[in-house]
Amino acid sequence: MAIVANRAEIGLKDIGTSVQVPDDPRAKLMFYLKSMCTVLDLDDPNISRLIDYRNYLLTAAEEAQLLLLCYALSPDELNGKCIFQDENGEMCGNRVNAFYELSAVQNRFLVTENILIGNQQRHVKKMMFYKMSFIQDYYLVPMIVLKVRLDAILEAQRMSRPAITYNQPTNNYRSTYTPTRYFGLII
């Protein structure tokens, strides 16, 4: 089932607030994840550390989790379902993104009622409109910067571990088996 919405009619409530995001790729990616959690109503204590963009210093393991979650919740997966590009600023105004809560059936944007994220079905009650600069600044560039950083950390960890080698077993044994015939078959 789908819901169709239009800002010109009653039914969309602007629920966004203005925030200051630190100029750090981790903070920006954490803000992106927080935005997707807002839209999808994901309220998980395990994610709370990863969406606290004001406290963006993360461990290598937390950075890896952040990258994996953001990859799973990529704009490609959610665009046209619960997030919508708005380059002309009709919904965003002068902001790079804007959040709206659905309160009635309307007739402009098709919103899927349920979205499957991982193995969980999520009910869509909110949507986000964005300008491409939001995706560029809060998803694409941070993902590239953090992926390079994460790859470097993982490579350094791999290089610091001693290599494990396995010796192939040698065939230094001689078989004493003599084939036997049973009912005309060689065994």
Residues 26-39: pLDDT tens digits?
Answer: 999 999 999 999 99
Does any domain span residue 177?
no
Does any domain span residue 179?
no
Parallel/antiparallel/unpaired status of strands 126-130 and 97-102: antiparallel
Structural domain count, the chain:
1
What is the residue range of 125's domain?
A: 2-160
pTM as predicted: 0.66
Q: How many Å apart are CA 158 and CA 6, to the nearest integer?
A: 52
Can you tell me the mean pLDDT for 43-69?
91
| Predicted pLDDT of residue 93 | 92
**Euclidean distance between the first and the last CA atom of the chain, given in angstroms as a whole number:** 66
Please report the DSSP string for 118-159 in residue order.
TTEEEE--EEEEE-HHHHIIIIIHHHHHHHHHHHHHHHHHHH
Does any domain span residue 25?
yes
| Predicted pLDDT of residue 36 | 94
The secondary structure of residue 53, as a DSSP letter, is T
| Predicted pLDDT of residue 62 | 92
Are the C-beta atoms of residues 146 and 29 closer than 8 Å to each other?
Answer: yes
Q: What is the mean pLDDT of the chain?
A: 78
Pull the structure tokens for residue 3: 């819901």
Does any domain span residue 182?
no
Residues 75-102: pLDDT tens digits?
Answer: 999 999 889 999 999 999 999 999 998 7
| Predicted pLDDT of residue 186 | 47
Does any domain span residue 104?
yes
- If pLDDT is split at 50, 70 and 90, which confidence band does 162 have? low
Pick the residue with more confidence: 114 or 182?
Answer: 114
Are the C-beta atoms of residues 101 and 15 closer than 8 Å to each other?
Answer: yes
Does any domain span residue 178?
no
Does any domain span residue 28?
yes
Does any domain span residue 46?
yes
